[in-house]
Amino acid sequence: MHPPPPAPLPLLAGIAASLALGACGEPEPTWTCVLDPEVEVDYSQTLGCRADYERLATLPTSSTKSAAITGKTVFDSFDGQLYFQDTSKYPIHWDFAFEHLSGSGSPIVPQLSSFNETEYYAPSRRFLLGALTYYAGPAVYTYEISPYDTMSAAQIQGSYEQIAAATWIGEELYFHPTSEAIELEAEKLPDSVKIITTDELYAGQQFQILNTGETYAKLIFRTAAELETSYVTFRDVVVLDAVPNDISVVSGIITAEFQTPLSHINVLSQNRGTPNLGLREAYTHETLRPLEDKWVRFQVTPERWEIEEVTQAEADAWWEANRPEMLGVPAKDLSVTEITDIEDVLDPALSVAEAIDEAIPAFGGKASNFAVLPLIGPELNPPKAFAIPVYFHDQFLVENGFDLRIEQMLADDTFTGDAATRDQMLKALRDDMRAAPLNLEFMAALTTKLEAEYPGVRMRFRSSTNAEDLDGFTGAGLYTSASGSLGSLDEPIEDAIREVWASVWYFRAFEEREYRSIEHTAVGMALLCHNSFPDEEANGVALTANIFDQTGAEPGFYINVQEGEASVVSPAPGVTTDELIYHFTFPGQPVVFVTHSNLVPAGENVLTNAELYALGTALAKIHSFFADVYEPNEDGWYAMDVEFKFDDVETLAEPVLWIKQARPHPGLGN
């Protein structure tokens, strides 16, 4: 029989309930704990019980492993000894090896860079480095190696057998391949090495940490469909049955379906610094339902989530102390009165950072950042583009009297005091904008440009406000884009332009600005214009850093990609995407899949190896180029949020990469 589960370590307290659900299998009767809980140790060479393991394990650096703990393992081929290091004290293998296995009769352990180059890639390496991880969902222990490790099948088998023999887990140990390359090598393993896949592990994952944070708010329940007709406020934590396409500003989000890290609602949560959690069966969860319509304290940390009832007075006091600071936006620049080619948006006499800052007041954040892409290199292949400056949006408002109407609306107490009234008045404003005439001289200039430079091309008109794609505030999903063709009766460009301009007054956009105390009339809408991609082979979003690793120990690119035009940020119910980490800078460029698309045949990926390499090359250049423009956050983490497509645009034999956007990512939590 197993020994009773030990009291959890403080670090593990948040997942103690799930981790204490019994260990795997029946240990040999002779196994007993070997570590004295009163004696500090740096390592052990055997683990006799669960308590021994918890003494040396810690939370994993990768936030993909919710409800998991892990401990580093080292097998030293010099003397044939196996070590389970104290992973809290020695978070990486080199720390332990340099401290305990260097000199005094053993070979000297080199400095970190040389150590990594040898011990992860050299066939004749001294050390076999791995981890013993417990996943609470499926309740299994796994032996894992880094996704970029080139360990042979024989070396994997040897390490696996050593760990199984040296622990009470024994034959209940599994090997978990952490990348495609390791999956291929694992095919050579004998049946005695039990294998469990990433899909099998994550199938048992009960919660998903999307964004960390704490809030005091009212807990309410809504279906995703109800968000179209009911109202939520920034004093609510919303429990949803499914992942919605959009949501107005709230204090926190809990979804019964898991999300992708770059979904609109998660990017918005990161932008706001509000907690966001995926929780299986959240809509009927026994902890959440009794708290419906009550004031709660809700907290999400990198390893756990907590919720408890509080009084309204406590919630009000917390809100007054933690109200978001007013966010200023660059003042509108109405001096630029001509449609401008993207190559002319930035001032070449300035640094890139200064040029972006100078361009945003006239051309908005999206167009100003897009204008950098042609400067980086041909690998990015951004579509030919131009910008319609803020001036023409302002002209549209003034000539149709919308500027005065907006001022009156904002001064109306019924508009500011009631969400339903506000929604109705904003809708009426948008409807009137969609029917209002456009300036004839503006349309003549735009028609001339399209006929001369984009003949017969279906165009995409994309929002680019001075309150969007800013450093520290993306405004993701607040506004819209629309397509149209010159002379088309079904999709006239006039309708597309008016639709995008009207989106400044979407209910969710208004509420977001209100939450951040952004002056509504200070917002100006420029347009980024290029060809549309009506039939692309693949589309996706990416981050130029590993969103699951805040330590920097496993750098990589996060990529979320889907076949064809199917959305990656707002997938249809039941649709999964290829979600992966691409360790582009490591030898062999290993790929770690988090999920696989169910729109492609089983065993296939959305991108070919050549397409993935082309994307990795572009992401590396984008990351390097913008590093001096957007500084890392206080934790040293920095990434660009990139939108891309693979498309043949009817003139090419094979799909090619097109980079459509690169904007600063707000970071990993608040």
- Looking at the fold, whether 92 and 150 belong to one and the same domain comes out as yes
In a domain, 1, yes or no: no
Identify which has the larger pLDDT, 63 or 453. 453
Residue 3 lies in a domain: no
Taking the complete model, does pTM exceed 0.75, yes or no? no
Q: What is the CATH number of the domain that holds 479?
A: 3.30.1490.20
Whether residue 124 is found in the same domain as residue 243: no
pLDDT value of position 8:
31
How far is 437 from 432, CA to CA, in rounded Å? 10
The pLDDT-based confidence of 313 (bands split at 50, 70, 90) is very high
Residue 670 lies in a domain: no
Within-domain flag for 329: no
pLDDT band at residue 304 using 50, 70 and 90 as cut-offs: confident
Compute the distance between CA of residue 433 and CA of residue 503 in angstroms, rounded to an integer. Answer: 10
Query: Distance (Å, rounded) from C-alpha 527 to C-alpha 468?
Result: 12
In a domain, 652, yes or no: yes
Tens digits of per-residue pLDDT, 532-589?
A: 988 889 999 999 998 777 666 778 999 999 999 888 877 777 788 998 889 998 888 8
pLDDT score of 86:
95
pLDDT score of 472: 57
Asked if 361 and 485 sit in the same domain, the reply is yes
14 & 128 share domain? yes
Residue with token string 């200064």: 354
What 3-state class would DSSP assign to 581? Answer: strand
Q: How far is CA 402 from CA 17, 168, 506, 546, in A?
A: 57, 73, 15, 44
Selection from 202, 32, 38 nearest residue 133 by Cα = 202
Q: What domain range is 649 assigned to?
A: 538-664
pLDDT, tens only, 53-110: 999 998 665 555 556 788 999 999 999 999 999 998 998 899 999 999 999 889 999 9
Residues 455, 346, single domain; the answer is yes
Question: How many helices and strands, by DSSP H and E, does the chain display?
Answer: 19, 24
Of 484, 500, 531, which residue sits at a domain end? 531
pLDDT at 144 over 70: yes
- Are residues 387 and 495 part of one domain? yes
Biggest CA pair distance of the chain: 89
- Same domain, yes or no, for 211 and 198? no
For residue 264, what pLDDT band results from cuts at 50, 70 and 90? low
Do 277 and 237 meet the contact criterion of CB atoms below 8 Å apart? no
Beta pairing, strands 140-144 & 174-175: parallel
What span, in angstroms and rounded, lies between the C-alpha atoms of 54 and 169? 13
Examine the domain organization and report whether 170 and 71 are in the same domain. Answer: yes
Q: How many CB atoms lie within 10 A of CB 89?
A: 15
Residue 666 identity: P
Q: Of 531, 552, 577, which closes a domain?
A: 531
Q: Do residues 554 and 526 share a domain?
A: no
pLDDT of residue 64: 53
For residues 506 and 453, membership in a common domain is answered with yes
Domain annotation covers residue 286: yes
Region at 22 (left for phi over 0; alpha for psi -120 to 50; beta for the rest): left
Please give the distance of CA 238 from its chain centroid, rounded to a whole number. 20
Angle at 639 between CA 240 and CA 239, to 5 degrees: 5
Q: Of the given ranges (167-171, 449-453, 554-558), which has the lowest mean pLDDT?
A: 554-558
DSSP state letters, 388-424:
E-HHHHHHHHHHTTHHHHHHHHHT-HHHHH-HHHHHH
| pLDDT for the residue 328 | 77
Q: Is residue 203 scored above 80 in pLDDT?
A: no
Q: Answer yes or no: is 669 within a domain.
A: no
Question: Quick check: 229 pLDDT over 60?
Answer: yes
Instruction: Inform me whether the pLDDT recorded for 2 exceeds 60.
Output: no
- What average pLDDT does the structure give for the chain? 87
Q: How confident is the model at residue 470 (pLDDT cuts 50, 70, 90)?
A: low
Q: Which CATH number goes with the domain that contains 315?
A: 3.50.30.10
How many structural domains compose the chain? 4
pLDDT in tens, 625-638: 998 888 776 666 78
Query: What is the residue whose two structure tokens read 């005439």?
Result: 437
Do 189 and 214 lie in one domain? The reply is: no
Q: How many CB atoms lie within 10 A of CB 22?
A: 10
486: confidence class by pLDDT, cuts 50, 70, 90: very high
What pLDDT, on the 0 to 100 scale, is given for residue 10? 30
What CATH number has the domain bearing residue 645?
3.30.470.20
Residue where a domain stops, chosen among 177, 202, 227:
202
For residue 2, being part of any structural domain is answered with no
Gap between the Cα atoms of 582 and 591, Å rounded: 5
The pLDDT score that the predictor gives to residue 178 is: 84
Asked if 465 and 426 count as a contact pair (C-beta separation under 8 A), the reply is no
Residue 495, Cβ density class (10 Å: 0-12 exposed, 13-18 middle, ≥19 buried) = middle
- Lowest model confidence (mean pLDDT) among 6-20, 123-137, 271-285: 6-20
* Separation between Cα atoms, residue 454 and residue 470, nearest integer Å: 29
Instruction: Give whole-number Cα distances, 141 to 173, 193, 195, 605, 645, in Å.
Output: 6, 13, 11, 28, 39
Please check whether residues 55 and 184 belong to one and the same domain: yes
Joined together, the tokens standing for residue 625 give 């180029």
pLDDT at 372: 95
Q: Which of 257-266, 299-308, 420-429, 514-523 has the highest mean pLDDT?
A: 420-429
pLDDT at position 161 is 97
Q: Where are the alpha helices (DSSP H) in 152-195?
A: 153-166, 180-186
377-410 residue pLDDT tens: 999 999 999 999 999 999 999 999 999 999 999 9
For 223-301, where are the E strands, in sequence order? 236-240, 252-255, 276-279, 295-300
Min mean pLDDT across 198-207, 380-389, 395-404, 504-513 is at: 198-207
Asked whether the predicted pLDDT for residue 14 surpasses 50, the reply is no
